[in-house]
Structures are given as structure tokens and as C-alpha cells.
Amino acid sequence: MGEMTMVQAINDALRVALKTDPQVLILGEDVGKNGGVFRATDRLWSEFGEERVIDTPLSEAGIIGTSIGLAINGFKPVSEIQFLSFIYPGFEQIVSHVARLRTRTQSAFPNQLVIRAPYGGGIRAPELHCDSTEIFFVHVPGLKVVTPSTPTDAKGLLLAAISDPDPVIYLEPMKLYRSQKEVVPSGWYEVPIGQARKVRDGEDITLITWGAMVPIAVETASKWEKEGTSCEVIDLRSLYPLDEETILSSVKKTGRAIVIHEAPRTGGLGAEVAALIQEKAFLYLEAPVIRVTGYDVPVPMFALEDDFRPNLNKVSQAIHQVITY
Amino acid sequence: MLDQLEKEIVQYLTPEGKLTSVGELAWGEIPTDLKKQFFQWMTQIRIFDRKMILLQRQGRIGTYAPLEGQEAAQVGSALALSQDDWVFPSYREHGVALIMGMPMQQVILYWAGRVEGCRPPKGVRLMPPAVPIATQIPHAVGAAWAAKLRRESYVSVAYFGDGATSEGDFHEGCNFAGVFRLPAILFCQNNGYAISVPFSRQSASATVAEKASAYGFPGVCIDGNDVLAVFVTMSEAIQKARSGQGPTLIEAVTYRKGAHTTADDASRYRPSDEVEEWIYRRDPLVRYSLLLQQDGCLTKAEMEEWEEECMQKVEKAVKIAESFPKADATHLFAHVFDSLPPSLEQQKEALQHLEGGYPWEK
């Protein structure tokens, strides 16, 4: 047991999975000898050999498509797409095949695979590396979608994804890869998919978020605590399926909710969460559910990324709006 | 990677700076001015590239994709093009961009995270760097198609790397180029590695060039560190394309001397003897300088003078780029649509309203 960053915790989860389950394979671009561009697969190639940690040609459709062929023969491929923004050549494989293989074969074959991808902004990455397109995958029936915000959750969620009988899209917020270190349990443990985490207790308002926006929600909550407003912060962790119970019980307690996400506003997951709240907790609401999101514009190059992303100021404006409604 | 040079490969100038027999013939036909330009541009680009790495280390730009080692491939190919020709680069073709007429300060701005660095001046037919892999190839083929449909004589070039040949877009672009017999040049700088993955892991075929035969057009494998071979081969391909004889795939075998980007550590995956061979024995600029000196085309003093001039040009461009007005947040909404839909107008107003400060400060 030692202190780990999120990327180290992901590495540890992969190592534990490779050690524990001989069916687990790792595939991707630069995942082998190089150990991944973020070092998520560091040293796994030398430890487990090139038949289990596989440098593939540069081809997202190839990586995801062949993962299906491996999975229906009992392997459990954990593929890495180098950046979520580069997943699109593989998108057809995901939408038309990964997601509906179970339905189309009426569960005739296993399809236990995980697709990992770093996503989101805030690290001054080059152009076209920073989109938060989680909603694309949430919207496709047949996929589970998860994203951690702490090292401990990162490891537990990844192991849960690997042992899940259904395909899981596992999204890694780049901004949090090395932002925090904590003691992470050793060995195999799982954070159940479908369970949100209450990050902070509060009475007046519920901030619902995930991934790299969690620290911003917490920072804002601390600031408002001093102003006399108490915010509860919920990290969804599982974007599909949603933990309705945790969301609704919190909103029923506070009567106010703000959803924060980095992705553009229109058609984002915030809209789904807001709809869920008004459908199932309408009579408890003291104010409309507000969204704080990226703008409906292409994710900018990094000179403007701080202006694009939600921040303390933007969340504070929303809190002010909700409590003075 | 060294075994790639054992393939049948077009070479005009050896690493020792000696002309081969075909090289002798070509050299006689190249005007002196162009001979100088090869040197001048390769030098300019190298000095620019080294400065960019320095700027990145100092935190003055973001992650940068260095090109040192690939100057001959870029200069030889771009100098064969005309102003009317279209160029579709990947993210390592700063040299090509500069030659095509992109102001240096804009290339710097691009790597400083400014979208203004994407926009070419009027009359420069250069697309912004394609960051996803191989996606620019079908675009180039489409631009070539436009030339054919309009009976115009320009050609269209896609620049890409060896890794791109594994993507579907490469196949689809080549296939269209072949089927419609388009004036497209598919220019692959095979630098041996797609980040860490060697070409042997990218493809089971010995060369990229031979893939062309499956699409029904010629492919040529050339020494990409030999500016003369690159220029002559590219010129021939352009000539063929302009005269309606269809596309050519050119594989310029080269090497990036540095890392994939400033965020990469190439020592993790490349053997040092291989790196040294390419840096010290196969450098494109060194071999060409040797030739020029032997030929008497440029003296050592003139070369040094030019280097000094290049450094000044780079410093000037850095200064212009760094004095560029600070990016304004509302620019997020500029150039998203021809005119903003009401919902985006609202979002823009909300952003402007934010600048009023925190609620508890009011």
C-alpha cells in the first residue's frame, strides 16, 4: 500500500488485472515498450510480455474491432485509445458492434471489453486533444460509461470495468492524472459501477459533477461554506448507468441542484440529470436546476481553455442564482 | 529502421555528400539559385525548430512537435510546388508551411495555443495542421478532385507519416485518388516511428511505396534526407499529376532526430546506435552543405552569414508572436457559425457578464 497518483493507480489496476486474470490483454498505440504516452501502462510490457501488452498499429478501428474478435473468444481486452479525441475512427465499431453485440447475438458470445481513453482539458495540450465527449457514449444503449476523480476510485472502477460482463468505456480525466496523491488499497478491489460518491455533505444545494470538475465543485463548496451556504458535492463516477438514488435523495434534502460539466451544454449529460430531477423530485425543488458547462463552441486551443471550462467563478454565479431564486 | 535503407531507394546525394550517377545528371540541371534555396530553407527551418523547443522548455509555447532531421523531405517537396497548389499537412510540417507562405509568427502562435495561427494569408492554399492521424489525406484528394472537375492545373499534396498508413483514411484517400485518377501527391515522411512504434510494427510490407500498386498508381521510395532526390521525385510526380496522369505515392525515408513531441522521451524506445547513425552520419543538412562547399556554390562564410540571418528572422517572429494581443474570451464564439444562433448569443452574454466578479464581492 502506498501513495499513488491517478495514473499510477490505473497502472496498478492493470497490473493486478494482468496478474490475476490470464484472459486480460492490453492493446493500444504506444502501450508496450513506451508504457503509454501518459505512462498508464508503464513497465507492464516488460513484466507481462508482448503477447499480453500489445503495441498495435496506429488504428483505432483496428484496435476496437479486433478487441471484439478477441472478446468473443473469451479474452478480456482492455484497449487504450491514446486520447478520447482520437477515438472517432473506432466509433463505428463501438456504436454498431461493441454496444449491440449482446443484443444481436442474444448473449451467444462474451463481449467483455474495456476501452480506456484520456479526456478533457486544463493541461495546455495541443489542439484537438481535449474534448469531453462522454455523452456520445452515454447515449449509445449497451455501453457502460465511467470516469474517476480520485486515485482510489480510478483503480477500483477500472477493476470493476474489467470484471464487468458488459463493455465499459473508461474515461480518464487528464487534468487529474497527477494532481493528487493518496494511499490506494493494494490488490483487487472494485468500486461498483452505478454508484455515485458523496464527496462532501451539505444542506442547501447539491452540486452534481464528475471527472475533472469534481475538484472545482469542492473548491467552490469550500468558498461558499465561509459565506454561509452549505453545498453537497456528488461525484457521479458512473455516467451510465446513473445512480438515481444518490442524486435524488440529495436533491430531496437540499431542494436545489446544479450540474457541472466540461462538455458543451446542449445535449450534455447535465440535461439528462436535470430532467431526471424534475421528473422524480419536482415537488422538492426550491429553484430550477442549473447547468454550468462548457459553451456550445468547438473546444478552443489552450490559450482560451480556461475561459471555456467551468471554474470557481462560473459555479459561484450559478450558486448565487439558485439561492436567490 | 536502418534496414529500410537497404531497400531499393532513390538516392541522388549520399550521406558523405557525393552525387550518385543520377544525382550528377540532376545537379547539372538545377539552377544555382535553387541550389542555394535548398540550403537556405533547410537551415532556416532547423534554426526555427531548435528555437521552438527552447520556447517550449521556457514555457513560452505549449507542447511542440519537432522536425529536425526531416528538413530535406520537407524542403525538397515544398520547393517543387507552385503557389496555386494545395497543401494538407500533418502537425510536423512547419517547414512546408513556412515555404508555402505561412508567416513564421503564425506557426509560433499555433503552438502557443492560439487559433489565429491556423489561418493562412490570402492566396496561400494551406490547411491547418491535421492533428488526428491521416484525416487530411481524403481532404487532399478532394481538393485534387476539384482541380480535375474544374480543368485546373494545380495539384494537391497530403503530407503524412508512416503511422498514418495504418488508418482507414489513408486507404480511402488512396483509393479515391486511384479510382478518379486525380492530381494528388501522397507524400509520406517515413521517419521510422509512430511515436514509439517502429514501422515494422505498423505494416508487414517492406515499404510504404509498394502499397500504391494496390491502388493502381505508382509509388516511389526515396532517401528522404537527400534533398535532391526529394525535389526531383516530387517534381516528376507534380508534372505527371498536372498532365492528367494521376496520383503518385512518395515515401521519403527519413528520421526525426528528436522526440515525437516535447512531451515525449524517445530514448525509451529507440536504440542509441540507431539514433547516432542518423544524427551523425545521415543528416540531411550536413550532406548538402558538403556538396555545396565542394561545388563552390556557397562558401562556409556565406553559410554562416545566412545562419545568422535566420536566427534574426526567428527572433523577430518570436517577438511579433509574443506581442500579439492577448486572446479575448469572447473569441470563443467567433467563427463558430456564419451568424450566432440565439442560444449562443445568450452564452456569449453570460460569459461577458462573468467579468463582473464574484457574487460575494458585490
pLDDT along chain A (325 residues), means of 10: 92 98 98 97 98 98 98 98 98 98 97 98 96 98 98 98 98 98 97 98 98 98 96 98 98 98 98 98 98 98 97 96 95
Q: Is A319 on the interface with B (CB under 8 A)?
A: yes
| Cβ separation A316–B344 shorter than 8 A | no
Q: Residue B3: what pLDDT?
A: 60
Q: Residue B354: what pLDDT?
A: 83
Q: Which residue of B has its CA nearest to A224?
A: B360
Nearest chain A CA: its distance from B199 CA (Å) = 9
| Of A39, A47, A37, nearest in space to A4 by CA | A39
The residue range of the domain holding A178 is 2-184
Query: Which residues of A, range 159-198, sit inside 8 Å of B by Cβ?
Result: none
Same domain, residue pair A160 and A219: no
Same domain, residue pair A124 and A55: yes
Q: Is A271 on the interface with B (CB under 8 A)?
A: no
The three-state secondary structure class of A137 is helix
Same domain, residue pair A75 and A109: yes
C-alpha cell at B263: 512531451
Query: Which residues of A, range 204-243, sit inside 8 Å of B by Cβ?
Result: 227
Beta-bridge partner residues of B184: B156
Same domain, residue pair B247 and B353: no
Same domain, residue pair B320 and B352: no
Same domain, residue pair A48 and A136: yes
C-alpha cell at A89: 475512427
Same domain, residue pair B118 and B56: yes
Beta-bridge partner residues of A117: A171
Nearest chain A CA: its distance from B65 CA (Å) = 10
Q: Out of A158, A184, A210, pick the residue that ends a domain.
A: A184
ipTM (interface pTM): 0.95
Same domain, residue pair B272 and B348: no
Same domain, residue pair B233 and B355: no
The residue range of the domain holding B222 is 2-325
Q: What's A52's domain CATH number?
A: 3.40.50.970
Q: CB burial class (10 A; 0-12, 13-18, 19+) of residue A75?
A: buried
Q: Out of A128, A158, A184, pick the residue that ends a domain.
A: A184
Using a CB-CB cut-off of 8 Å, the residues of chain B touching A124 are 62-63, 113
Q: What's B50's domain CATH number?
A: 3.40.50.970
Q: What's A265's domain CATH number?
A: 3.40.50.920
Q: Is A325 on the interface with B (CB under 8 A)?
A: no
Q: Is A279 on the interface with B (CB under 8 A)?
A: no
Same domain, residue pair B342 and B321: no
Same domain, residue pair A119 and A253: no
| Of A235, A225, A240, A155, nearest in space to A189 by CA | A155
C-alpha cell at A40: 498508464
Query: Which residues of A, range 86-125, sit inside 8 Å of B by Cβ?
Result: 86, 88-89, 124-125
Query: Is position A192 within any domain?
Result: no
Number of domains in chain B: 2
| Of A124, A123, A170, A176, nearest in space to A143 by CA | A170
Same domain, residue pair A93 and A203: no
Nearest chain A CA: its distance from B92 CA (Å) = 13
Number of domains in chain A: 2
Same domain, residue pair A89 and A36: yes
| Cβ separation B347–A296 shorter than 8 A | yes
Q: Residue B76: what pLDDT?
A: 98
Please, which residues have CB within 8 angstroms of residue B349's CB and are 6 or more apart in sequence? none
| Cβ separation A313–B358 shorter than 8 A | yes
Same domain, residue pair B108 and B170: yes
Q: Residue B303: what pLDDT?
A: 95
Q: Is B331 on the interface with A (CB under 8 A)?
A: yes
| Cβ separation B196–A314 shorter than 8 A | no
Same domain, residue pair A163 and A22: yes
Same domain, residue pair B215 and B112: yes
Among B131, B261, B347, whose Cβ lies nearest the Cβ of A295? B347
| Cβ separation B329–A266 shorter than 8 A | no
pLDDT in tens, chain B (362 residues): 556 556 679 999 999 999 999 999 999 999 999 999 999 999 999 999 999 999 999 999 999 999 999 999 999 999 999 999 999 999 999 999 999 999 999 999 999 999 999 999 999 999 999 999 999 999 999 999 999 999 999 999 999 999 999 999 999 999 999 999 999 999 999 999 999 999 999 999 999 999 999 999 999 999 999 999 999 999 999 999 999 999 999 999 999 999 999 999 999 999 999 999 999 999 999 999 999 999 999 999 999 999 999 999 999 999 999 999 999 999 999 999 999 999 999 999 999 988 666 666 65
Same domain, residue pair B238 and B334: no
Same domain, residue pair B192 and B133: yes
Burial A196-234 (b: 16+ CB within 10 A, else e): bbebbebebbbbbbbbbbbbbbbebbebbeeeebebbbb
Cell 517515413: give the residue: B190
Q: Is B169 on the interface with A (CB under 8 A)?
A: yes
Sheet with A53-55: list strands edge to edge: A53-55, A24-28, A76-80, A114-119, A168-173, A144-146, A238-240
Same domain, residue pair B297 and B353: no
Q: Residue B321: what pLDDT?
A: 98
Nearest chain B CA: its distance from A294 CA (Å) = 10
Q: Residue B353: what pLDDT?
A: 85
Same domain, residue pair A112 and A228: no
Same domain, residue pair B234 and B101: yes
